[in-house]
Chains A and B, each alone.
Chain A
């Protein structure tokens, strides 16, 4: 037995007397971080894998912001839905709920990127962790570019991508920069200097806008080709707009694109945008639209003419409308080299329905897939709507005149609009309440209900509310109006800056005077003859007490008067006669670089002297802290 064991034992002793111990070649532990033995051997074919290091991202960035916003609202008189909640505390912003936003992007190799925007929000109702919200605001985007002798090619997939083609195909209205800047939007940036927001509105005519300004949300794939031979470029997009949104596998898709040729300062492009949604799994029921346009710009001396001309149609199951025209022409000239003036002429058929364009749909029930589980945050107003100058609607033709001029230090931006409907489709007029717009929207948190309020005629869309007025001069059988509707609008935006006690101050006035009537008029009708008159006055005053403190003030007044050809109250038997006030004050405080505290206190009082229940008054206090990094 001992003899049997002798050789193995001796062999073992010999072996182990000569051994040296080493670590195998490291895999993901980087070679430069590891002490390597000189006798490193090839890695084993068994065990744990991978045997080599993971490649690190070439580039990785995180940016974002923290935005804390809270409202306290007290109402002495409230709408019925708030009767039991006259005092309300709300932490967050229900339309843009992210409190903490992280924009994350990385790159694996040159010219390719991916990114996402992660948000967190705590409503602070006392429930703690269980109520906290996390998610992606816009989603995940992948981006790649390729440059070749034939052109540069870019692809964006995933989403949401903010993108625009042309006003009639895929874009939102940019307007003429006539608005109030007292209330802060979730997407408003912190300017480099605290008064930058107010100074740039005076000097440049617009505050710094978010990159999404004028663009629409799109999810899917966007393929762009630029710098192609002979000045050509192009875009192809396929996927979903937010009206196609939802996780149902039933097809609900949009596609579009354009081919553009640039020559000198001029260009011409052919554009299209199309959407098809199916209501059922077997595709027997469908709904959608097609829009085809040409857009151009031509510079002739001091004149510049630009515009978009095209056609659109809609289809529902097997019924397809004929093509309807869509024309928008703008002639721009600096009169006497000092007064830039633009004449805008347009005509858009009621058959052109594209809710992903800058055109508000006033001719149908809107375009939304009933199968879609997406919210409807930006469904535009339907029926005949009174809109700010520059906002296009279908079933309408008209012209606008816009100009800007200075008198001493006062800067004026003036607009005039005259338009009419093409077809008598709607027996309703819709209009807005800009004076207390955001406060009113806060009356309905989280969702976007229609036909609410004490008389079921208010509808919320995104951060505002519109009201519907019924006309009574209608055909009793068809319920259609007997007359066409005509719209007039005048807008004046005046801006002034000066110094008080050696400190800068800014004064802005925005006046909008509009009317809708059943006859053609040269100017806004200020008499009882108008079906509806709306007058909005907004006066703002900002005083830069120090580079870190600005005193902000606001006064708003609205008068809305309808005549007896519209629906009257059953008790008072009088038509709408609405008056709204708003007085607000507040301050902007610079906390540190990139960090600001914004306080707003608004007192409001609104009532309709004809419709007794249509009234509210009270105040809302808003505190916002915003920090970018």
Chain B
């Protein structure tokens, strides 16, 4: 019996170890399921913001209970939108920070904006105004934003099909800046509608692109617009490495990695892909690259961008803008 008593004593001695449990976990149920009350008004930390210099806007508010909330910032000129959502009792840093990025394209411009706060189950909405003095700057290597037209160093090939339109446009559709590239036409004998080669020499004069060597830290991004009610386009990017920096890329001894995009959506969409995730495609199927079989973004000698479509389908069309390499997925 003595041993059993000692046994029990040994265990019960732990009681004193626990911290105070007088509080409770989570938000108060009484508050949560009671009536809603705005305890602190919805505010923006700035009435004008210089995103280009790294400034941000902090939206704040406080409620009497945790609640699902949604802030929609709309550009009054561009109609770009940024949507921020959360479920909390307060809106504060970091959830309430807007760095100038866009959720629904086009991107924001220098313009007036209105931020609207809507709350789950609450009929009222709240709004504040802010003004963009300079837009967000994305750090990276811009391959093409088409703002300055075609670079003479690029090589363009367009098939002689029907209704061909492989031109830079300025018609209000651009998601970034004011211009974008339109790629459209009917080529009923071949998949290729048109293509552009972006040689490394166009970006600093070297034989390879000035990118980091770690393929896990290089992201390729672009914005593509799927035109409603047209046939599916296939946008193919070929990243051709010049492993020996000869300036003359032999496809039989160098790696090529490919990004094939089926444009099966409507409107602008951001494509972001890590360079190390790209496969080599042979006739659309993954295959073993022909060079050193290693992703070397710093050895990319040329990027070919091809607009393809099934020849039996007829007319195909899509738009493209803002081809950029970044160190993390682009937050436009």
**Direct A–B contact in the complex, CB atoms closer than 8 angstroms:** yes
Chain A positions within 8 Å of B, measured between CB atoms, are: 127-130
Residues on A with beta carbons closer than 8 Å to the beta carbon of B288: 128-130
Q: Give A128 to B289 CA distance when docked, in angstroms.
A: 12
The chain B residue sitting closest to A130, CB to CB, is B287
Q: Give A128 to B285 CA distance when docked, in angstroms.
A: 13
Distance between B234 CB and nearest chain A CB, rounded to angstroms: 20
Q: Give A127 to B282 CA distance when docked, in angstroms.
A: 9
A-B contact pairs, 8 of them (CB 8 A): A127-B282, A127-B287, A128-B288, A129-B288, A130-B282, A130-B286, A130-B287, A130-B288
The chain B residue sitting closest to A131, CB to CB, is B285
Q: Give A14 to B311 CA distance when docked, in angstroms.
A: 88
Q: Give A129 to B287 CA distance when docked, in angstroms.
A: 9
Q: Give A267 to B286 CA distance when docked, in angstroms.
A: 60
Distance between A133 CB and nearest chain B CB, rounded to angstroms: 13
Q: Name the 6 nearest CB pairs between A and B, nearest first.
A: A130-B287, A130-B285, A127-B287, A130-B288, A127-B282, A130-B286
Number of contacts between A and B (CB, 8 Å)? 9
Using an 8 Å CB-CB cutoff, how does the interface string of B302-327 with A read, 1 for contact, 0 for none? 00000000000000000000000000
Residues on A with beta carbons closer than 8 Å to the beta carbon of B287: 127, 130
The chain A residue sitting closest to B283, CB to CB, is A127
Residues on B with beta carbons closer than 8 Å to the beta carbon of A127: 282, 287
Distance between B86 CB and nearest chain A CB, rounded to angstroms: 39
- Which residues of B278-300 have CB atoms within 8 Å of chain A's CB atoms? 282, 285-288
Q: Give A129 to B285 CA distance when docked, in angstroms.
A: 12
Q: Give A127 to B288 CA distance when docked, in angstroms.
A: 9
Residues on A with beta carbons closer than 8 Å to the beta carbon of B285: 130
- Chain B contact residues (Cβ within 8 angstroms of A): what range? under 10
Q: Give A128 to B286 CA distance when docked, in angstroms.
A: 12
Q: Give A476 to B282 CA distance when docked, in angstroms.
A: 54
The chain A residue sitting closest to B285, CB to CB, is A130
Q: Give A18 to B79 CA distance when docked, in angstroms.
A: 83
Q: Give A127 to B287 CA distance when docked, in angstroms.
A: 9
Q: Give A2 to B285 CA distance when docked, in angstroms.
A: 74
Residues on B with beta carbons closer than 8 Å to the beta carbon of A130: 282, 285-288
Using an 8 Å CB-CB cutoff, how does the interface string of B251-287 with A read, 1 for contact, 0 for none? 0000000000000000000000000000000100111
Residues on A with beta carbons closer than 8 Å to the beta carbon of B286: 130
Distance between B201 CB and nearest chain A CB, rounded to angstroms: 33
Contacts beyond the supplied A127-B287, A130-B282: 7 A-B pairs with Cβ under 8 Å: A127-B282, A128-B288, A129-B288, A130-B285, A130-B286, A130-B287, A130-B288
Distance between A81 CB and nearest chain B CB, rounded to angstroms: 16
Residues on B with beta carbons closer than 8 Å to the beta carbon of A129: 288
Q: Give A128 to B282 CA distance when docked, in angstroms.
A: 12
Q: Give A127 to B281 CA distance when docked, in angstroms.
A: 12
Residues on B with beta carbons closer than 8 Å to the beta carbon of A128: 288
Q: Give A128 to B280 CA distance when docked, in angstroms.
A: 15
Q: Give A129 to B286 CA distance when docked, in angstroms.
A: 11
Distance between B285 CB and nearest chain A CB, rounded to angstroms: 6
Q: Give A406 to B286 CA distance when docked, in angstroms.
A: 63
Q: Give A130 to B287 CA distance when docked, in angstroms.
A: 6
Q: Give A130 to B286 CA distance when docked, in angstroms.
A: 8
Q: Give A397 to B178 CA distance when docked, in angstroms.
A: 79
- Which residues of B119-143 have CB atoms within 8 Å of chain A's CB atoms? none
Q: Give A129 to B282 CA distance when docked, in angstroms.
A: 13
Distance between A450 CB and nearest chain B CB, rounded to angstroms: 20
Q: Give A120 to B282 CA distance when docked, in angstroms.
A: 22
- Which residues of B213-227 have CB atoms within 8 Å of chain A's CB atoms? none
Residues on A with beta carbons closer than 8 Å to the beta carbon of B282: 127, 130
Distance between A574 CB and nearest chain B CB, rounded to angstroms: 36
Distance between B29 CB and nearest chain A CB, rounded to angstroms: 41
Q: Give A128 to B290 CA distance when docked, in angstroms.
A: 13
Distance between A130 CB and nearest chain B CB, rounded to angstroms: 5
Distance between A386 CB and nearest chain B CB, rounded to angstroms: 37
Distance between B148 CB and nearest chain A CB, rounded to angstroms: 41
Q: Which residue, A128, A129, A130, has most C-beta atoms of chain B within 10 A?
A: A130
Distance between A251 CB and nearest chain B CB, rounded to angstroms: 31
The chain B residue sitting closest to A129, CB to CB, is B288
Q: Give A241 to B147 CA distance when docked, in angstroms.
A: 62
The chain A residue sitting closest to B287, CB to CB, is A130
Distance between B233 CB and nearest chain A CB, rounded to angstroms: 26
Distance between B224 CB and nearest chain A CB, rounded to angstroms: 28
The chain A residue sitting closest to B286, CB to CB, is A130
Q: Which residue, A127, A128, A129, has most C-beta atoms of chain B within 10 A?
A: A127
Q: Give A323 to B232 CA distance when docked, in angstroms.
A: 50
Distance between B79 CB and nearest chain A CB, rounded to angstroms: 41
Q: Give A128 to B288 CA distance when docked, in angstroms.
A: 10
- Which residues of B138-185 have CB atoms within 8 Å of chain A's CB atoms? none
Distance between A446 CB and nearest chain B CB, rounded to angstroms: 16
Distance between A193 CB and nearest chain B CB, rounded to angstroms: 45
Q: Give A130 to B285 CA distance when docked, in angstroms.
A: 8
Distance between B190 CB and nearest chain A CB, rounded to angstroms: 15
Distance between B268 CB and nearest chain A CB, rounded to angstroms: 35
Q: Give A135 to B282 CA distance when docked, in angstroms.
A: 23
Q: Give A129 to B288 CA distance when docked, in angstroms.
A: 9
The chain B residue sitting closest to A128, CB to CB, is B288
Q: Give A130 to B288 CA distance when docked, in angstroms.
A: 8
Q: Give A127 to B286 CA distance when docked, in angstroms.
A: 11
Distance between A513 CB and nearest chain B CB, rounded to angstroms: 45
Distance between B311 CB and nearest chain A CB, rounded to angstroms: 16
Distance between B280 CB and nearest chain A CB, rounded to angstroms: 10
Q: Give A308 to B287 CA distance when docked, in angstroms.
A: 57
Distance between B305 CB and nearest chain A CB, rounded to angstroms: 25
Q: Give A127 to B285 CA distance when docked, in angstroms.
A: 11
Distance between A122 CB and nearest chain B CB, rounded to angstroms: 15
Distance between A224 CB and nearest chain B CB, rounded to angstroms: 45
Q: Give A127 to B280 CA distance when docked, in angstroms.
A: 13
Distance between A125 CB and nearest chain B CB, rounded to angstroms: 11
Q: Give A50 to B51 CA distance when docked, in angstroms.
A: 61
Q: Give A74 to B281 CA distance when docked, in angstroms.
A: 32
Q: Give A298 to B267 CA distance when docked, in angstroms.
A: 76
Distance between A15 CB and nearest chain B CB, rounded to angstroms: 21
